[in-house]
Amino acid sequence: MPCRILAHIPPCTLQSFLVKLIIQIPCYNEADTLPETLADLPQAIPGIDCIETLIVDDGSRDDTVAVAQACGVTHIVRHPQNLGLAKAFQTGLDASLQRGADIIVNTDADNQYPGHYIADLVAPIVRGTADIVIANRQVTNIEHFSPLKKLLQLLGSWTVRTVSGTNVPDAPSGFRAYSQEAALRLTILTRFSYTLETIIQAGKLGLTLHSVPIITNETKRPSRLQRNMWHFIKAQGGTIVRLYAFYEPLRTFTYLALPFLLVGLGTWLRFLLIYLSEGGYTGLLQSLTIGTGLFIVGVLILMLGVLADIINKHRQLTQETLYRLKKLELQQKNANRES
């Protein structure tokens, strides 16, 4: 497909901008749709002094890189093989930070998200009222979504809001803007998708999230992230469960231990009540034995939760250390550029 970008915007110099935006686009075999996506990107945005583009080629086997070069993409980062969307997103964040981005916008290469909404996404960050802004696709109004898919999208977003303590109406939306501070703090751990994990991380880190309503373009190809509805449910559901256990280990293990503790105590009480009502031993020793076993299992699970919570505190310290190292590295690179 011919490239529709008419002018190439060269990389910005430190002297020429105050606020730098990098629009990153993870790509996997996107040669057909990438030109249209790039052509739709804005050339100027209020409050932004410099706009650059960055393509993360996730092991494409087509002409994605050649098309990106022909369209004048500012930066191209390549994976030698396909590592998945989550890894491509993290690579894009790191590469954008290394290139001095103050704000990072992530969009898809299939032109699902209209480029003119980027101005709406970055506006709250420019004003300093948000760390992350997520586009709300208003899934109930998307005509090509089946009723089942709309229901599952709403249910998934509600679950993420509950787990993360945020108020994001469209959690799976990949059209987002991140401040430099938010990008420095986020570290993707899952492999399937970054969308849910970044929201849960942001909620636990106390970052401010906003949403902006948008109307999407009609997609011209099926999603490459989900093979079918069941695959999507299984992958996203597993991600939510793992992340909740990762960030709330004590609460998770407490929930797991509670049934064993309650049933164990219940069988003890049954034995005790019968013992007292019959005025002595009644031969129901199995209730006492089963109850003791269940109670011990519950206590052991609870102890695992305590240990996991201690490990979680060490993870928080490690995450804070990683954030400070990345920030120092960024400050050093900026100082080197200025000198």
Span 201-224, average pLDDT? 85
> Which pLDDT score, from 0 to 100, does residue 242 have?
81
Query: Is pLDDT of 213 > 60?
Result: yes
User: Cβ(92)–Cβ(183) under 8 Å?
Assistant: no
* Nearest residue to 241 via CA among 227, 251, 229: 251
Residue 327 has pLDDT above 90, yes or no: no
pLDDT bin (cut points 50, 70, 90) of residue 7 is very low
Average pLDDT for the chain: 86
As a whole number of angstroms, the distance between CA 151 and CA 337 comes to 50
What's CA 295's distance to the chain center, in Å? Answer: 38
Confirm or reject CATH 3.40.50.1980 for domain 14-247, answering yes or no.
Answer: no
Q: Is the pLDDT of residue 176 over 90?
A: yes
Amino acid 119 reads A
Query: How many Å separate Cα 329 from the centre of its chain?
Result: 24
Q: Are 52 and 22 in contact (CB under 8 A)?
A: yes
Reading the block at residue 45, the tokens are 């945005």
- Residue boundaries of the structural domains of the chain: 14-247, 249-338
Summarised one tens digit per residue, pLDDT across range 94-136 is 999 999 899 999 999 988 999 999 999 999 999 999 999 999 9
pLDDT tens figures, 274-318? 777 776 666 667 777 888 899 999 999 999 999 999 998 888 888
Under the banding of pLDDT at 50, 70 and 90, the label for residue 168 is very high
Token pair listed for 4: 């529709």
Based on C-alpha coordinates, what's the Rg of the chain?
25
Most confidently modeled range among 14-18, 48-52, 235-239, 248-252: 48-52
Residue 220: CB atoms within 10 Å: 11
pLDDT of res. 281: 63
